[in-house]
């Protein structure tokens, strides 16, 4: 009865146009006060405590780092490098679009940010080179979704936070699936380019290639420093110098390092970032971060209530009693999350369903790290499917095409996402190989 009432209130608030944060928090508070009265002060304390965590600080810092990279010229250098590496292939610029998204995703951790940063530069370039609007916006919209799979990933940070799973291990788990997904998108670009009729560029000379690598090196150095900082160096004993090994800084501290490096590279090396630009970037980033934290606070309140009434444990017991095999359970989860992706963004999906489904997955012997990657790939699919796919809206604003037409353009590319989802679901070692190497 309590669960049914909670669901009715939640969907009723959505139907009347309430923001997702209000629907989540409102449903939890109303249900709690009717079926399990709690003092109003406890609600306020819980909302505050939901946000009072060091791990969550990584979210706004990585968003800010991505915005500073875009404004500081780092994205432009990554684009130039990708063009130098792949420009001479058939569909070279289309493949360069995918590669640039991979480069940028390795720093930003956000798919919509990747679409916006790469799309504003490469969409006009693709059209100028003779690619159709359909190919161009489909490549950008779908390739941008890789941003939440490669580290540092905002959804993986949130998943680790709500399920108490190691975030460094989650970051490692996303690398191999991200590379496979990127390879599938590169193959899709090559296949679709057959119908585009674009001319093949000449291969970049050794001088041009060297220049592109040299100029882009500071931008490429940023993700390397972040990864090395999070996972550290192996221990060594060399000429009397000893190092026991281990991490240098936490993922949250890595976000601060990313901001500092983006400012230094943008202002002192590329000289495209001014002090006034930094203030403007901060001002533009704050509203978006505020929205995410407002959703997070209310989603955690929602999760706290359903945990209090025992829904996760009941669901885990139901799965065990139903006799579902791990494969059958994961198929059901995929179907559920695909449907959820039509209506919810990635952040509330993680915050609502990770605490609900992870105990059931664990009860079947499914590794929580493997389950996290499955959830994230499903969220990637949700980012490029209507009606609330964020990548579709960002791509629409870049191209001037309607959201429906952007979705149609993305359909051939979505097959790569579905293939990646199937591989990640049924081949656990794709996700678990690298984390298993971490002590």
For residue 191, CA distances in Å to 91, 196, 413 come to: 8, 10, 10
For residue 66, CA distances in Å to 273, 309, 321 come to: 13, 39, 46
Number of domains, the chain: 1
d(CA 30, CA 146): 38
- Is 216 within a domain? yes
pLDDT at 238: 59
**What are residue 150's phi and psi, to 5 degrees?**
-80, 150
- Is 15 within a domain? no
- Is 1 within a domain? no
- Is 266 within a domain? yes
- Is 18 within a domain? no
- Is 288 within a domain? yes
- Per the CB < 8 A criterion, the answer to whether 101 and 116 are in contact is no
pLDDT at 77: 84
For residue 399, CA distances in Å to 69, 116, 130, 392 come to: 22, 11, 15, 10
Q: Which domain holds residue 241?
A: 39-437
d(CA 190, CA 136): 13
Q: Which of 176, 371, 165, 179 is nearest to 251 (CA)?
A: 165
Paired with 242 in beta bridges are: 237
Environment class of residue 271 by beta-carbon count within 10 Å: exposed (0-12), middle (13-18) or buried (19+)? exposed
- Is 11 within a domain? no
Q: Which residues of the chain have pLDDT under 70?
A: 1, 36-43, 46-47, 50, 54-55, 87, 196-201, 232-247, 312, 439
d(CA 103, CA 147): 9
- 324-355 pLDDT per residue, tens: 889 999 998 998 888 888 877 777 888 888 88
d(CA 225, CA 307): 39
pTM: 0.80
Who contacts 411 (Cβ-Cβ below 8 Å, separation ≥6)? 138
């Amino acid at each position: 009865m309590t669960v049914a009432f909670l669901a009715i209130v939640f969907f009723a608030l959505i139907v009347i146009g309430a923001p997702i944060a209000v629907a989540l928090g409102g449903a939890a508070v109303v249900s709690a006060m009717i079926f399990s009265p709690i003092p109003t002060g406890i609600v306020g304390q819980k909302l505050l405590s939901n946000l009072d965590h060091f791990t969550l600080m990584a979210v706004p810092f990585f968003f800010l780092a991505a915005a500073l990279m875009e404004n500081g010229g780092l994205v432009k250098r990554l684009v130039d490098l990708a063009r130098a590496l792949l420009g001479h292939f058939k569909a070279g610029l289309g493949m360069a679009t995918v590669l640039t998204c991979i480069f940028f995703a390795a720093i930003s951790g956000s798919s919509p940010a990747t679409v916006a940063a790469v799309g504003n530069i490469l969409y006009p370039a693709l059209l100028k080179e003779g690619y159709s609007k359909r190919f161009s916006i489909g490549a950008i919209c779908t390739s941008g979704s890789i941003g939440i799979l490669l580290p540092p990933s905002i959804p993986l940070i949130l998943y680790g936070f709500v399920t108490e799973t190691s975030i460094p291990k989650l970051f490692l788990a996303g690398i191999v699936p991200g590379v496979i997904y990127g390879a599938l998108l590169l193959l899709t670009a090559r296949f679709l380019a057959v119908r585009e009729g674009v001319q093949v560029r000449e291969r970049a000379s050794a001088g041009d290639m060297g220049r592109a690598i040299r100029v882009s090196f500071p931008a490429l150095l940023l993700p390397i420093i972040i990864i090395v900082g999070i996972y550290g160096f192996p221990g060594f004993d060399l000429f009397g110098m000893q190092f026991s090994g281990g991490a240098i800084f936490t993922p949250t501290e890595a976000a601060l390092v990313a901001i500092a490096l983006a400012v230094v590279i943008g202002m002192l090396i590329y000289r495209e970032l001014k002090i006034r630009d930094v203030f403007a970037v901060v001002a533009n980033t704050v509203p978006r971060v505020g929205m995410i934290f407002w959703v997070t606070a209310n989603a955690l309140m929602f999760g706290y209530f359903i945990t209090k009434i025992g829904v996760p444990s009941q669901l885990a017991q139901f799965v065990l009693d139903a006799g579902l095999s791990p494969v059958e359970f994961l198929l059901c989860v995929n179907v559920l999350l695909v449907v959820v992706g039509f209506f919810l963004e990635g952040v509330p999906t993680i915050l609502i369903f990770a605490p609900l489904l992870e105990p059931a997955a664990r009860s079947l012997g499914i590794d929580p790290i493997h389950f996290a990657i499955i959830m994230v790939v499903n969220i990637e699919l949700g980012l490029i499917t209507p009606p609330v796919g964020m990548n579709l809206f960002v791509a629409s604003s870049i191209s001037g095409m309607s959201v429906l037409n952007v979705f149609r353009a993305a359909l051939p590319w979505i097959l790569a996402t579905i293939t990646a989802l199937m591989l990640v679901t049924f081949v656990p070692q794709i996700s678990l190989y690298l984390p298993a190497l971490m002590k």
